Every structure is written in structure tokens, then in C-alpha cells.
Structure 1
Amino acid sequence: MQPDPRTNLSNQLADTLINRSVAPDEKREVTITFRASYAEKARLEQRCSGVVQSDYIRARLFDYPLPHPKLVIPEINRQAIYELKKVGNNLNQQTRAINEAVKIGSQPLSNEVKSYLKTLEELTALLEQTRQSLTQVSVER
């Protein structure tokens, strides 16, 4: 009697998963080194395209999914993002202070205060958009 093709395929898949020698979530304690030519090293670097080399090699060797490339944010953008966050924090503190003053009655909610709060909200949104655009850089190739 011939085994069912589905059962056969299911058994092959189970065998493949059982025989996988390294699980992706195991603790990695062993360092492996090997020699390569300059051409091989260049080819490996090209294929990694933003992925850590050990992750790339591990994925190819053990049939893990390839990791996502890391984003490379230029130093100038990192500094700008840091400054934008500081400005944004200051705007949020001002907004909270005004809202609290209005809530406890020490500051009337006049049209001028409403306009100022709206301006603060617009500035905060603009800062967030700018920060987002600075973090959307191309992947290192």
C-alpha cells in the first residue's frame, strides 16, 4: 500500500524541523571564525546590505528568515532629532502648564490663550513630522 502524498510531505517537513541543528532562540556561546579571500569578503559585505554579517550567515546556513536591514541615520540627523525632541518636550510642558492653570482657574481661557495653545499644538505636530522625515533615511548599502 502506497503512503498518502500528504502524509509523506508532512513527515518530511517534520523531519526537516526536527533535524534543524540550531534553534533561533538558543543562547549563542560559541564563536566561529573562518578565513576568506578579499573578493569573498567583498561579496559577503555586498550581500549583507545593511544586515549584520553574523545574522546573514546564520540565516543562510540554517534557513532562518533574513533579518531586516538596519537603518543608518547620519550623525547630523541624530543631533537634529535630539534637539527636536528637547524643543517638543518644552512645548508639551508649556501646553500642560497652561491647561492646568486654566483647569484650576488661575488663568482664564481667553481667545488669546486658545490661539497660543493651537499654535503650540501646530508646532508640536510640525516637529514630529520633521523628526519622522529625519529618521526615514535610506538603508546602508
Structure 2
Amino acid sequence: MQIDPRTNLSNQLAQTLINRVVEPDEKREITITFRVSYAEKTRLEQRCNGVVQSDYIRARLFDYALPQPKLTIPEVNRQAIYELKKIGNNLNQQTRAINEAVKIGSQPLTTEVKEYLQTLKELTALLEQTHISLYQVVPEED
């Protein structure tokens, strides 16, 4: 039985593509969409378990290691983080303004100014600790 040359070439191409290693850090420029049923979508979401769906599918399809799940930050924490960043920016601006004023000589470095700068430093550290605690994952209770 003779195999059609086009079929043979097609089979060779398919085998080459199967054996080709796809590097995960290649630039991704192509979008692929496909349809699934409601049941398949639910099953996919359950399997992803915090991993971005495209990353999960890519890892399964190309035998990459599964990426770490993304942290889900509650809305209240996102709002608090946003406000803390604004406060932190204001503290940094005040600190820079005072240091610049002292540097150019328009503000003497008095004991009160030193104490105020120390207070700003302590507030900034407290804000950073609070910010970090808002990102920590609280274990779920069964």
C-alpha cells in the first residue's frame, strides 16, 4: 500500500510540531478562542483554583509547571491599600520638603524638626507594616 506524499509530509510536520519544545517566555501575539459548555467552564474554573485560566491551559497543553495561584485581595483591602499608598506619598512629600528646606537653609534643623522627621519615619514604617499585612493570606477554616 502506497502512502500519498502529501499525507506523509503532513504526518512528518505533525510529528515535528508534537516534538517541538515551546518556550514559555516567547512573546505571545496570537489570541485563540474556543467554546465550552457551562459544565466545562465550571470544571475549568475549579481546576484553575486561583491560577489564571490561560496560564493553566497553557501549562496543561505544553507540559509547563503550573504557576502559583494569584492572591485574591478582598475589595476592602484593595481600598485600604489605595488609601495607605496615598497617605504614604503625602508623608514622603513632607519628609522631602523638610529635608530640602533644611538643606538650602530656609528651615533650621531644630529639635522639633528632628522629632517631626522621626515621627514621619515611624508613621511610614507603620504604614508599610499595615500594607504588608493586607496582602497576607488568611487560611480558610473548614
Q: TM-score w.r.t. structure 2 length?
A: 0.72
Ranked by relative contact order (alpha carbons within 8 Å, sequence separation 6 or more), the top structure is 1
Name which of structure 1's ranges 126-135 and 52-61 shifts more when overlaid on structure 2. 52-61
Shift of 1:85: 0.8
CA distance in 1, matches of 2:116, 2:27: 55
CA distance in 2, matches of 1:98, 1:30: 52
Cα distance in structure 1, aligned partners of 2:79 and 2:136:
15
**Which residues of 2 match residues 1-141 of structure 1 at below 5 A?**
19-20=19-20, 22-24=22-24, 25=26, 27=28, 29=30, 31-33=32-34, 35=36, 38=39, 41-137=41-137
AA paired with 2:92? N
| Structure 2 counterpart of 1:134, one-letter code | L
Report the identity percentage. Answer: 73
Two-structure CA RMSD over aligned residues (Å): 2.7
Which residue identity lines up with residue 105 of structure 2 in the other structure? G
* Alignment CA distance shift 1:138-1:44 (3 Å): farther
Distance in 1, matches of 2:77 and 2:31, equals 37
Residues 27, 90 of structure 1: alpha-carbon distance in 2 compared, 3 angstrom cutoff? closer
Number of aligned residues: 123
Q: Which runs of 5+ in 2 are unaligned?
A: 1-15
SS of the residue corresponding to residue 58 of structure 2 reads: helix
After superposition, give the CA deviation of every residue in 1:79-105 in whole Å (9 maximum; x if it has no partner).
111111111111111111111111111
Match of 2:11 in 1: none
